[in-house]
Amino acid sequence: MSTGRNAFLQYTPLDYPWRLIATFAAAATANLSPRIPCAFPSGLIPEMLRVTVAIPNYAGADIISLQFNGDTTAANYQTRWITFSNVATPVVAGVNFTATASIALGPTAITGGRSIVATIMNQATKNKIITIQEMELIASQGTAPQMAFGGGQWFNTTQQITDIAMTLQGANSYGANTQMMIEGFQP
């Protein structure tokens, strides 16, 4: 490594080659975000997407979800969850969702917040496979948060995901300052 007045270090982000595509922050409570485009500035739609969501709270017990390309056909979405409870010796359980019009980003309806990372395979001729990591906000100090690992699939083999909207499984709203970040990777 060189030192001196004109020396520099080349920095490569730890998550390179993921590139930021879009961000969204809710200024007020809502139950559906705008449809956020998933293309790079060049117009290229990446074959891998990563969606990070931070939701501080819900107006009532609910589950935030992702909807792709405006598709509201319930049969096109499927999600499965493995949960680890927040008791001293975690209890492992499974939850299936098969008839919702979006990918559920949590296993159960809650009023507290969630932190979520979803990685999506986005090849046009393949169903879109989604891997989800989720952690739930716990209000009491000394209690571990509940965590869950989920997976899902959007059944569409004719197009890539070109836009993503956040929606809710129920009729409530997500809190102000709910945020979503979409990143892409093109091999």
Q: Could you report the per-residue pLDDT of 132-174, keeping only the tens digit for each?
A: 999 998 877 877 788 899 999 999 999 999 999 998 888 888 8
Domain that holds residue 71: 23-185
Domain presence at residue 13: no
For residue 32, give Cα distances in angstroms to 8, 17, 25, 27, 165. 45, 30, 12, 12, 7
Q: Is 138 among the domain residues? A: yes
Q: What is the pLDDT of residues 1-52, one digit of tens each?
A: 334 444 444 444 556 789 999 999 987 777 778 899 999 999 999 999 999 9
C-alpha–C-alpha distance, residues 19 and 164, integer Å: 16
3-state helix, strand, coil in the chain (%, to 5): 0, 45, 55
Q: Are 63 and 171 in contact (CB under 8 A)?
A: no
User: How many structural domains is the chain composed of?
Assistant: 1
Query: What's the DSSP call for residue 170?
Result: S
12 falls within a domain? no
- What's the length of the chain? 187
